[in-house]
Amino acid sequence: MFDNLSAVQLLVVFGSLLIGMTVHEAMHAFAGHWLGDSTAFEEGRLTLNPLKHIDLYTTVLLPMILILFGLPPIFAAKPVPFNPNRVRYDEFGVALVGLAGPFTNLAMACIAGLIFRLVPIASNGISDALVIFTLINVGLFVFNMIPFPPLDGSRLLYAFAPEPLQRVMRSIEGFGFGAILLFIFIIYQFVAPVVGAVMEGILRIIVGIG
């Protein structure tokens, strides 16, 4: 999807990823703080400073490994810490913290898409930048909503899951970076067609392309 991009467009892709991930993680921190858990605030994660959200493994090494294997680079920011025991509304509060990030990406995609569709823009460069920004944020939304630990969508599934499934999900999440690699190299190939179809549908609604 990002084949044959110019240097300027590649910079827009990088900038969109950086903005999307930074705001995504900051909203996790804000939601946790709003729901009674100050862990992220105390660790300086309630900020729009991207340097606070960059992780050596998932932001730098992971995309490099994927590129070496000929796979699309997938970036992830440093997970925002939170204490589920301090969050109000139990599992449902934890789910709200998890959903705050991806739904913020969806909101940013909708805003950029509306500007693209409703505001007359003479510059093709600005139009391209809006489409790229929308695409990146839709991608962050859809990918993070996959209900596999430690992705955000798993928080919603966890809130409604029976105890045996919750134990399995906690075990998977305990692998940390290993769980992410397991998902990308083994499981993602089975859900990729669904992810692509959902992204295409959302993009068609927001910007009229897919």
* Number of residues written out for the chain: 210
Q: Is the pLDDT of residue 1 over 60?
A: no
Q: What pLDDT shows up at residue 121?
A: 76
Q: Which segment of 2-6, 20-24, 119-123 scores lowest on mean pLDDT? A: 2-6
**Sorting pLDDT into bands at 50, 70 and 90, what band is 10?**
confident
Domain boundaries, the chain: 7-207
DSSP assignment of 156-191 equals HHHHHS-HHHHHHHHHHHTTTHHHHHHIIIIIHHHH
pLDDT tens per residue across span 128-155: 999 999 999 999 999 999 999 989 999 9
Cβ atoms 169, 157 nearer than 8 A: yes
State the DSSP code for 78. Answer: P
Question: Nearest 10 degrees: CA dihedral of 59, 65, 66, 70?
Answer: 150
Cβ atoms 144, 153 nearer than 8 A: yes
pLDDT tens per residue across span 69-113: 776 667 778 889 989 899 999 999 999 999 999 999 999 999 999
DSSP assignment of 108-133 equals HHHHHHHHHHHS----HHHHHHHHHH
Interacting residues of 14 by C-beta distance below 8 A, sequence separation 6+: none
Q: Exposure string (b/e) for 46-64, b if CB count within 10 Å is 16 or more?
A: beeebebbbbeebbeebbe
pLDDT tens per residue across span 171-187: 998 887 788 888 888 88
Percent of the chain surpassing pLDDT 90:
62
